[in-house]
Structure 1
Amino acid sequence: MRAIWTGSIAFGLVNVPVKLYSATESHDVNMHQVHEKDGGRIRNQHRCQECGKVVESDDMVKAYDDGENRVILTKDDFEALPADENDDLEVLQFVPNDQIDPIMLEKSYFLEPTSKTPKSYLLLRQTLEDTDRTAIVTITLRTRTRLATLRVCGKVLMIQTLRWADEIRDVDFKGVDSQAKISKKELDMSAKLVESYSEDFTPEEFNDDYQEELRKLIDAKIDKGESLDLEKAFGDEEEDEEPGGDVIDLMEALQKSVDSSRSSKKGSASSKKGSSTSGAKKSSGKSGAKKSSGKSSSSNSGKKKTG
C-alpha cells in the first residue's frame, strides 16, 4: 500500500497526524487491446478534428461546450479556483451513524496514525465508538475539495468520500405508487421465504466466478505456449514523506476547544438577550404612545404578542 495523502485531522485545537490509503482495489484481470494478427499493443492517439494532427498530452487543455459556445480552460484557470491548499482534514460536525444514507458513499480510504505517540488517534477512535457518531469532514484530493465521512472501521479510522446532495437523482416511478392489494397470506408466505434465506452476511463466502474462470483460461493458454514475451511493468514509487508532528498536550488542546465552544455559545446567548431587552423597551415606548392616543394598552399589548 502507498499513501496518497498526508496531513492531519483537525477538530477544535486537537490535531491528529495521519496518512491516507485507498481501502479497496479491483481484483479484475488487467487486459489491454492488441492487434490480433501479430499481438502488437494498440496505442491510442489523440487527433485534432480541426488540423488533423496528433496532439500530445502537454498541448491539451479542457473546454466546456454548451452547444453554442465553447469555453477553453487552461491550467492557470484551474489553479486560480478557490481550492483548499492546507493539509488539514477538517471536522465540520459529528452526526448519528444512522443519518448517513449509503447512496451518498463513494470511495473508501484507511487512515494511518503517523505520530510517534498516537494517543490522539486512539482517543478520537474510542470517542466515535462510544458516542455512535460519524464525523463529517472536508478533504482536498487532487486539487478538489470533497465532503466525506470519518468513521471507525475495526481498529482504524476510515474516510469515505460523499456525493453532494444535488448529485442524487430524484425518481418518480409509477409502479411504486400502485394501489395493488397485498393479502395477509401473501405477506406471510413472503416472510417465510425471506426467513428461509436469512443468515449472517459473510462476504468471504462469495467469489467472482467470471474472474476465476478467466484466470484459468489465461493459465491454460500459457501452459500450451500461446503467450508472448512482454516487458515487465514498472513498480510503484516509494513514499518518502515524513510523519507529522506529535500532539504535545492533548488534554490542554481538548480543554481549550471545549472552553472556546462554550464561550461562543454564551456570547450568542448574551446577544440574543440584549436584543430581546431592547425590543421590550421599544414595545413599552410604543404602548405609551398608544395610551395617549386613547387606545387600550391591553388590547395593543395582546396584538403585539400574537404578532
Structure 2
Amino acid sequence: MELLWRGTLAFGLVHAPIRLYQAVRKRPIEFRLLHEPDRAPIRYLKVCSEEGREVPAGEIVRGYATDDGWLVVEDEELSRAAPTLTRSIAVREFVDLRDIDPIYFRKPYYVAPDEGGEDLYVLLREALRRSGKVGIAQFVLMHREHLAAVRVHGDALVVQTLYFPEELIPERELALPTETRLREGDIRMGVELVGRMSGDFVPERYRNEYRDRVLEVLRQKAEGHLPPELERPAPPPPRPTPVLDLTRRLRESLERAAEARRRAA
C-alpha cells in the first residue's frame, strides 16, 4: 500500500503520529490513441491558438479569464495564498455521522498509526466508536486545503474528505414540483414497496459488468479470437407511469417484491 502522507492526528491536546494511505484502488481500462498505419501512440503539442506554432515551456504562463481579458498570474503571487503546509490533521469538533449529508462525501483515506502511536490510535478509534461521533478536521494534502471527517471503518480510522459548502450546487436551482395529484393511499403503497424491497447492503452483490465485458473482449482479441458480437438493440426507454395508472403499477410492484422475497427465502 503506497504511503501518501505522514504527520499527526490532533484532537484536544493529544497528537497521535499517523500515516495516510489511499483507500480507493482505481482499476481503469486504459486505452491510448494510435496512428493506425504504424501503431505509434499519438502525442499532443502545446500550440498557440493565435500563431499556430508549438510553444516552448519557457513561453507558457498561467492565466485567469476576466471581463477585460486574460490576467497573467505568476507562481510567486499564487504562493502568497497557498495554505500553510502543516503536518497535522487537527480535529475541530465532533458531530453525529447522521448529521453529515452524504452529498458532502468526497474521497476516503485510510489512517494507520505511525511508530509509537498505536495506543493513541486505539484511544481515538474506540472513543469515536463508543460515542458514535466523527471528527471534523481541516488539513493540507498535496498543496490543497481539505475539509474532512475522521471516522471509524471496521478496525481502522478513515479520513473522509468532504466538499466545502460553496462547491455544491444548491438544490434550489432545480425545477422541483410543489404540487401533486398523488393520493395518500399511493404514497402509503410507495412506503410499503420500499419496505418490501429493503435489505442489508452487501457490496459484493454488485459488479462493474461493463468492465468485465470489456476485459473479456480484450482477452479474446489478444488470443486471436474474434470478439463475440456484443451489440444488442437498445431497449426503448421506459415510458413515464401515468398518474391515473399509478395505483395499479404500485400493486403489481408490491406483488413482485413479495414473490421475490418468497423465492429468496
1:99 & 1:199 partners in 2: Cα distance?
23
Higher mean alpha-carbon deviation, 211-220 vs 96-105, is at 96-105
CA-CA distance at 1:54 after TM superposition: 2.1
Q: Is the 8 A contact 2:16 2:117 kept in 1?
A: no
Distance of 1:59 and 1:25 partners within structure 2 = 37
Partner of 1:22: 22
Distance 1:115 1:3, change over 3 A: same
For 1:1-307, list aligned pairs within 5 A.
1-57=1-57, 60-172=60-172, 173-178=174-179, 180-224=180-224
Which deviations, in whole Å up to 9, do the C-alpha atoms of 1:68-115 show, x marking residues without a partner?
A: 231112221222224122211111111122111111111111111112
Rounded to whole Å, the distance in 2 between the matches of 1:148 and 1:117 is 21
SS of the counterpart of 1:176? coil
Distance 1:148 1:59, change over 3 A: farther
Secondary structure, in 3 states, of the residue corresponding to 1:4?
strand
Query: What secondary structure does 1:211 align onto?
Result: helix
Letter of the 1:176 counterpart = P
Determine the C-alpha separation between the residues in 2 that align with 1:98 and 1:209. Answer: 32
Q: CA deviation at 1:59?
A: 5.0
1:177 aligned counterpart, secondary structure: coil
8 A Cα contact 1:10 1:90, kept in partner? yes
In structure 1, distance between residues paired with 2:143 and 2:59: 20
Q: 1:164 to 1:175 in 2, by over 3 A?
A: closer
Q: Is the 8 A contact 2:86 2:139 kept in 1?
A: no
Q: TM (normalized to structure 1)?
A: 0.68
Give the conservation status (yes or no) of the 8 Å contact 1:10–1:16: yes
1:156 Cα shift?
0.9
Higher relative contact order (CA 8 A, sep 6+): 1
Partner Cα distance (1:92, 1:187) in 2: 42
One-letter amino acid of the counterpart of residue 28, structure 1: P
Query: What's 1:297 paired with?
Result: none
Following superposition, the deviation at residue 56 of structure 1 comes to 4.6
Task: Give the distance between the partners of 2:111 and 2:54, measured in 1 at CA.
Answer: 42
Unaligned runs of 5+ in 2: 227-265
Separation in 2, partners of 1:153, 1:171? 30
Which whole-Å CA distance do the structure 2 matches of 1:89 and 1:81 have between them?
A: 20
What is the alpha-carbon root mean square deviation over aligned residues? 2.0
Query: In the TM superposition, what is the alpha-carbon distance from 1:177 to its structure 2 partner?
Result: 1.0
TM-score by length of 2: 0.78
> Does the C-alpha gap of structure 1 residues 159 and 48 become closer, same or farther in structure 2, counting only changes over 3 Å?
same
The residue aligned with 1:274 is none
Q: Tell me, in whole angstroms, the C-alpha distance in 1 between the residues paired with 2:94 and 2:107.
A: 20
Distance in 2 of aligned mates of 1:222 and 1:9: 48
Unaligned 5+ runs, structure 1:
227-307
- Report what 1:291 is aligned to: none
1:281-301 CA-partner distances (Å, limit 9, x unpaired) = xxxxxxxxxxxxxxxxxxxxx
Q: Percent identity?
A: 27
Count of residue pairs brought into register by the alignment: 225
CA offset at residue 57 of structure 1? 5.0
Higher strand proportion: 2
- Whether the aligned pair in 2 keeps the contact of 1:61 and 1:73 (CA below 8 Å) is yes
Change (3 A) 1:117 1:95: closer
